[in-house]
Structure 1
Amino acid sequence: MIFDKVKKFDIIFDSPEIDSPPVFSSGDVVSGKVVLELGGESKIESLKLHAEGFAKVHWTESRSAGSSTAYTQNYSDEVEYLNRREVLLQADNGELTLLPAGRHEFPFSFQLPEETLVTSFEGKHGSIRYWVKVKLHRPWSTVRKIKKEFTVIEPIDINTPALLAPQAGTKEKNARVWYRNFGQVSVTAKIDRKGYTPGEVIPVFAEFDNSTSRSIVPKAYITQTQTFIARGTMKQKRAVVATLCGDPVGARRRETWHGRAIKIPPVGPSILQCRIIKVEYTLKVCVDVPGTSKLCLELPLVMGTIPLHPFGSRTSSVSSQYSVNLEWLRMAIAEQPEPPPDYSSVVTDEEAVQNANAATTTAPAGRPDEDLTGILERPLMAYVQEFRFRPPPVYSEVRLPSPLANDPSLRGSLFLC
């Protein structure tokens, strides 16, 4: 009876955290060691390492004709990102290498390509995988193979002008059922930027105008779309990863979202550089109209890996960041705001006297205090717009009390706002 003398054959990556798998990006050096433990003296022909990285797509479509299958068609495609071979053990003269019993370690090291790689991914119809495969060749024995995967995450920095740009849009439709027209529904929405990272909260600013005779329900979704392409044919898989539901908007009414929050769950980054696999995200602001189709406004999102820098992008200039901020302000406020109206044209003489008397008296005991609990939940720009067109505050004439009124240097009137 012949016993295999190989007790242990394993690949160990050099990783700061032993319990977690290593993560790399383009240009990084992947290093580790191959551990070979022998129970006795053994002859080795060669020990070869092969590092590979592929994006692969595959699915099958079958067409049936009655009770039998008419034909079956396979769709597949592949893109290579890494193909590196390295010999860890092999005699130069072609002879066998004799290894004694015990533990043997063979270090390896190679650099990932400098050009942009694609993030590791596992989908329904395809995957993007990177791995290291080692083959042990011995005379008169089968080839021993081991394979271990590692993760590649291509960094996406959201601190760039393109991903810091605000996203906004408007969409409307007529709510109809057969020949009857119920009126028009419109939705306007905007978000402060295009790039986000998982775990962040997206404040949604939206306005829903319901001119129909029925109530509508506003909602917002974050959707993930996986696209697989092979031989000119495309397969897509969509999933909703986050949901936000608003209060119903009655007939002939309007509802505004002042930064309603929708949180991004732990999802993978966007994949936009691969030819056969794409992962894209979208924020959909929708309106459910009973009896008719849904109205949806889509705003593109990019899930990045480098979070927002406190002072803006580390790669963009200060002037570009400033221009982005100005563009966001222009979306909230008109470029040339009209001046406030004249005080005399807004407040009559009787109202001025009543306001002056009210300023010197206390509020009635039965009047409830103003509720300020939600003041921190609204953005600053909402208050700027709310108070833009209000008239100046009412002022009243108050005489200085005695004995200061007897002082000639202090004679006159004091106007208090």
Structure 2
Amino acid sequence: MFEKTFKDFNINFNALNESNTFSSGELVTGQVSFELSKLTKIRAITICLKGKADVHWSSGSGKKKRTYYAKIDLLNLKSVILQEGAVGRETIVPPGRHVYPFSCQLPHGNFPSSFRGPHGQVLYNLTVAIDRPWHITKDFVTQMNFVHHVASNQPELMASLSGSNSMSVCSLSCTSGQITMTASIEKKGFLRGETIRIFCDFGNASSRTVTPKAKLKQKQKYFSREGIQRRLFVKNLNSVTGLPISAHSSETNAEMLLNIPADSTLTISNCSLLQVHYEIELSLCLRASPNLIMLFPIVLCDLPLHPHYLG
């Protein structure tokens, strides 16, 4: 059996950064290592780096149930680590520990970041195949974490966002009172793990107590290949609740801090089958009435933004 001959098989990448991620145009290098228990003939050791995106979901039930599936290939790169000799003979490898370096040049391109969701994924896998005479080829697969660098020199990512909203609330005597909010955030582009500062002014002319709340929401959109059918999945990543604002009062120069989880997926807008977007939902909540809501779309990047990029 393969496991009796090959032991302690490992595929290791040479890290280019602390997060061990790779991006388009970079050179992927690493080592394949294993222990041989006996003299072994090997015809070839090859690597294949593949990237793909696929989506899948179902709707309806019974006879009306329909299943949607689509897949696109992003990358397909192949390289040889060890191959047959010049006369077509197998390589005879002695027992013991063996390490083989490998390298693979990623092409320049607009490839989406790695992602896994309930209805789809973007995966980049490195497969090492060992071909021996009179044996079925054995494959070893490991995932590579790919990151798409959002252009950090986009002025819109550094621009502040602001807005306001209001609505009238009817009390028991049907005398309406208005609640208002005006809010802003410093910029549109953020890093994972960063804290979003939301500056708010709240006004409550109603007879009820209202409570401000901010949520960080992730919206995952999945599309069939034709783009006609789609599936939406919304996930709340974090929230913060402010101090209640009593009736006929206001809260000015309030600040709400909303943390972005460090393990959040980057924004994905460059894939035809799935998209990942983020928004801040700021609301004033009150009983027995719809909430007053304001939305701020934001972008999660992996590179810091600096004001001088605007010049």
TM-score band by shorter chain is: 0.7 to 0.9
Unaligned runs of 5+ in 1: 64-68, 318-417
Equivalent position SS for 1:225 = strand
2:193 aligned partner: 199
1:80 and 2:73 are equivalent in the alignment: yes
1:244 and 2:237 are equivalent in the alignment: no
Conserved in 2, the CA contact under 8 Å of 1:198 and 1:264?
yes
Q: CA RMSD in A?
A: 2.8
Query: Following the alignment from structure 1 to structure 2, what is the Cα–Cα distance between the partners of residues 21 and 252?
Result: 51
1:217 to 211, 215, 218: 211
Give the number of equivalent residue pairs: 307
2:291 aligned partner: 294
> Structure 1-normalised TM-score?
0.66
How big is the shift at 1:286? 0.5
Query: Following the alignment from structure 1 to structure 2, what is the Cα–Cα distance between the partners of residues 260 and 7?
Result: 54
Unaligned runs of 5+ in 2: none
1:46 to 44, 47, 63: 44
Conserved in 2, the CA contact under 8 Å of 1:218 and 1:246?
yes
| Deviation per residue, 1:277-308 (Å, 9 max, x gap) | 22211111111132111110001111122224
Matches within 5 A, 1:182-197: 182-197=176-191
Query: Following the alignment from structure 1 to structure 2, what is the Cα–Cα distance between the partners of residues 221 and 3?
Result: 50
> Structure 2-normalised TM-score?
0.87
1:307 to 304, 307, 310: 304
1:25 aligned partner: 23
| Deviation per residue, 1:25-51 (Å, 9 max, x gap) | 111100112224322222222222111
2:100 aligned partner: 106
How big is the shift at 1:190? 1.2
Percent identity of equivalent pairs: 30
How big is the shift at 1:163? 0.6
How big is the shift at 1:93? 4.3
1:277 aligned partner: 274
How big is the shift at 1:177? 8.4
Conserved in 1, the CA contact under 8 Å of 2:158 and 2:187?
yes
- The amino acid that maps onto 1:127 is Q
Equivalent position SS for 1:87 = strand
1:165 and 2:171 are equivalent in the alignment: no
Equivalent position SS for 1:24 = coil
Larger strand proportion, structure 1 or 2?
Answer: 2
* Pair 1:223–1:210, CA change in 2 (3 A): same
Query: Following the alignment from structure 1 to structure 2, what is the Cα–Cα distance between the partners of residues 7 and 243?
Result: 48
- The amino acid that maps onto 1:26 is S
* Pair 1:23–1:210, CA change in 2 (3 A): same
- The amino acid that maps onto 1:117 is F
Query: Following the alignment from structure 2 to structure 1, what is the Cα–Cα distance between the partners of residues 242 and 67?
Result: 44
Query: Following the alignment from structure 1 to structure 2, what is the Cα–Cα distance between the partners of residues 3 and 226?
Result: 41
Matches within 5 A, 1:361-400: none
Conserved in 2, the CA contact under 8 Å of 1:182 and 1:214?
no
* Pair 1:49–1:2, CA change in 2 (3 A): closer
Query: Following the alignment from structure 1 to structure 2, what is the Cα–Cα distance between the partners of residues 193 and 2?
Result: 55
Query: Following the alignment from structure 2 to structure 1, what is the Cα–Cα distance between the partners of residues 60 and 88?
Result: 51
How big is the shift at 1:133? 0.2
Conserved in 1, the CA contact under 8 Å of 2:171 and 2:206?
no
Query: Following the alignment from structure 1 to structure 2, what is the Cα–Cα distance between the partners of residues 306 and 162?
Result: 15
2:136 to 128, 135, 142: 142
Equivalent position SS for 2:157 = helix
Query: Following the alignment from structure 1 to structure 2, what is the Cα–Cα distance between the partners of residues 212 and 297?
Result: 19
Query: Following the alignment from structure 2 to structure 1, what is the Cα–Cα distance between the partners of residues 173 and 121?
Result: 48
- The amino acid that maps onto 1:216 is V
1:13 and 2:13 are equivalent in the alignment: yes
- The amino acid that maps onto 2:71 is E
How big is the shift at 1:125? 1.3
Larger RCO, structures 1/2 (Cα 8 Å, 6+ apart): 2
1:70 and 2:56 are equivalent in the alignment: no
How big is the shift at 1:140? 2.0
* Pair 1:3–1:241, CA change in 2 (3 A): closer
* Pair 1:180–1:113, CA change in 2 (3 A): farther
How big is the shift at 1:160? 3.5
* Pair 1:235–1:41, CA change in 2 (3 A): same
| Further displaced range: 191-200 or 90-99 | 90-99
Equivalent position SS for 1:23 = coil
Query: Following the alignment from structure 1 to structure 2, what is the Cα–Cα distance between the partners of residues 175 and 161?
Result: 39
How big is the shift at 1:129? 1.5
- The amino acid that maps onto 2:198 is V
2:121 to 102, 127, 134: 127
| Deviation per residue, 1:305-360 (Å, 9 max, x gap) | 22243xx23x431xxxxxxxxxxxxxxxxxxxxxxxxxxxxxxxxxxxxxxxxxxx
- The amino acid that maps onto 1:79 is I
